[in-house]
Amino acid sequence: MEINKLSNHINGQVNNTKGTESAEGAQKASAVENKNSNADKVSLSGSSASKSEELFAKIELEKLNHSSFEKLKGMKAKIDAYQSAKADSPEAANKTEIGQMLNDPEMWGKIAQNIIDK
């Protein structure tokens, strides 16, 4: 029995090993192996999932920015009201929301506790 006439079993395909055909068979087998290994990989780089995920992140960031700026506008309005009332009279300033917070001993206790905790 000659070794050149034996069949070779690679990746479920039978290739005859005769002279130069064995080199071609090895190239075909490696090509099939590369194709199979690439088919097993999962990549989201070319799909629309990464684009939609990026769009979702941008929308969520925009929502957070909007809510933060709304809170900032509200606080600015309270400070402006306090400053304009303070310009009129100290009693009027004490009646504003910021004035009431400044005169509240419980609020000062919370501020002190936050300072101690940090």
* pLDDT, tens only, 13-47: 555 555 555 555 556 656 555 555 555 566 656 66
Mean of pLDDT over the chain: 78
Is the predicted pLDDT of residue 115 greater than 90, yes or no? Answer: yes
Q: Are residues 34 and 90 in the same domain?
A: no
Sorted by sequence, the CB contacts under 8 Å of residue 14 that are 6+ apart come out as 7, 8
How many percent of the chain have pLDDT more than 90? 41
Domain with 34 in it: 3-40
Torsion of CA 60, 66, 72, 73, to 10 degrees: -170
Q: Are residues 106 and 53 in the same domain?
A: yes
Q: Are 98 and 81 in contact (CB under 8 A)?
A: yes
Q: Are residues 63 and 104 in the same domain?
A: yes
Mean pLDDT (whole number) for 42-71: 85
Q: Are residues 34 and 58 in the same domain?
A: no
Q: Are residues 104 and 70 in the same domain?
A: yes
**Which residue has tokens 């490696």?**
30
Q: The tokens of 24 are what?
A: 């071609």
Q: Are residues 75 and 104 in the same domain?
A: yes
3-state secondary structure of 9: strand
